[in-house]
A and B are shown apart, each in its own frame.
Chain A
């Protein structure tokens, strides 16, 4: 479920639905700082230049009874369990969908991120979140089909930043390289971004983006 936790977390990974941040204050939900998860859908979290929109929807992560995987479909629909999120003995956490609010993106630093999810983990989050709010169950493969272009773009942007950013601690350079990537995908009328929407052309986009990043690196 987790793509990275703890020390594996890379600050250059673009912020994505399902990311877990520490020391987040969610106005109107509770007081103080705590763990929170990004709920905003990847289709809507970025604006011009591929940069994060000013506000993100986030939900509080709370202590919750341990829930074996086979019991997830049968209930506890108001949460998504996060087993071994911090790999601490005896700790059992879950993201609580009702404890959600709006957080300013500028208050989130990627250095405060402690985990992010795999594509599978994000689709499980989407499925449970959607069911909680609408009682509609959408199968995971269908959710994945819809979000696949966003997953691919996030992976490619991460790779682009890893290849080209000289100083990962420079938020200005990271933003500049992010805008470069966005401009590259938008080139020629958004051809590459459109090609990401189809399984028949995704591998072509990966090839072209990787060739381009190597050319820019050299």
Chain B
């Protein structure tokens, strides 16, 4: 039997009818204190970790703003060239992320003026793609387009299009340890919403076809 207070082993009642003599092994005073101290330390580190994570996110947001303000000095057509030609994003994707129609983007390509707000949005997109490259994502558009989990259609592009930029940056910076965890943070019901019942395959005529998984 273990006694928390006694310093010495003590015998149990000698009049006990038990045939086995039990020995009390005490917990040292220092071990109890150590357990408490480590628990407190762990709680503090956890709280600090959370504070640092929040600070990191705020700093990232400021950094992106700073980069955007620099990029917005570029002509709109040059910004669009960067996104489309340098990074390989489709015009529909650009329209979706900026929040306009594909026709609007087409007009900007032909030289029509965009509002300040839209120009800022395109500049921000360029800044984001640059930032992803600095986070060692060699082809950021490809990285955005590939489904995150096999058997589910959802991509990092979908998360970005849902205005969850902070999640995308956390994922890019490897602060989230798995795509499933990322998707849990994005949408709890992702397994129901994005499950794909069919898969594509290359059929005999060299075109893609669909079949059930």
**Residues of A in contact with B (beta carbons under 8 Å apart):** 3-4, 8, 43, 118-119, 138-139, 141-143, 145-147, 149, 152, 155, 159, 190, 197, 199-207, 210-211, 214
**Residues of B in contact with A (beta carbons under 8 Å apart):** 84-92, 102-103, 139, 141-142, 145-147, 153, 155, 194, 196-198, 200, 202, 205-210
- Chain A residues with Cβ below 8 Å from B205 are 43
Contacting pair A199 B146 (CB below 8 A): yes
In this complex, which of B103, B202, B205 has the most chain A Cβ atoms within 10 angstroms of its Cβ?
Answer: B103
Q: How far is the CA of A152 from the CA of B139 in the complex (A)?
A: 18
Contacting pair B210 A3 (CB below 8 A): no
- Chain B residues with Cβ below 8 Å from A141 are 153, 194, 196
- Chain B residues with Cβ below 8 Å from A214 are 85
- Chain A residues with Cβ below 8 Å from B147 are 199
5 A-B residue pairs with CB within 8 Å: A141-B194, A143-B210, A145-B210, A199-B146, A207-B87
Contacting pair B85 A211 (CB below 8 A): yes
Q: How far is the CA of A78 from the CA of B153 in the complex (A)?
A: 28
Q: How far is the CA of A199 from the CA of B196 in the complex (A)?
A: 15
For the A-B complex with A142-B210, A145-B200, A199-B145 known, give 10 more contacts whose Cβ atoms are closer than 8 Å.
Answer: A43-B205, A119-B92, A138-B197, A139-B197, A141-B153, A141-B196, A197-B208, A204-B139, A206-B90, A207-B85
- Chain A residues with Cβ below 8 Å from B88 are 202-207, 210
Contacting pair A203 B202 (CB below 8 A): no
In this complex, which of B87, B102, B145, B207 has the most chain A Cβ atoms within 10 angstroms of its Cβ?
Answer: B207
- Chain A residues with Cβ below 8 Å from B87 are 203, 207
Contacting pair A203 B200 (CB below 8 A): no
Q: Which residue of B lies closest to A120 (CB)?
A: B92
Q: How far is the CA of A4 from the CA of B91 in the complex (A)?
A: 14
Q: Which residue of B lies closest to A214 (CB)?
A: B85
Q: How far is the CA of A200 from the CA of B144 in the complex (A)?
A: 9
- Chain A residues with Cβ below 8 Å from B209 are 146
In this complex, which of A146, A147, A201, A205 has the most chain B Cβ atoms within 10 angstroms of its Cβ?
Answer: A146
Given contacts A43-B207, A141-B194, A146-B208, contact A197 B202 (CB under 8 A): yes
Q: How far is the CA of A140 from the CA of B183 in the complex (A)?
A: 20
Q: Which residue of B lies closest to A144 (CB)?
A: B153
Q: Which residue of A lies closest to B142 (CB)?
A: A203
Contacting pair B92 A200 (CB below 8 A): no
- Chain B residues with Cβ below 8 Å from A203 are 87-89, 139, 141-142, 145
A3, A139, A199, A206: the one contacting B84 at CB < 8 Å is A206
Q: Which residue of B lies closest to A140 (CB)?
A: B153
Q: How far is the CA of A203 from the CA of B194 in the complex (A)?
A: 23
5 nearest A-B pairs in the assembled complex, by CB-CB distance: A203-B88, A203-B141, A141-B153, A207-B88, A142-B198
- Chain A residues with Cβ below 8 Å from B85 are 207, 210-211, 214
Contacting pair A155 B194 (CB below 8 A): no
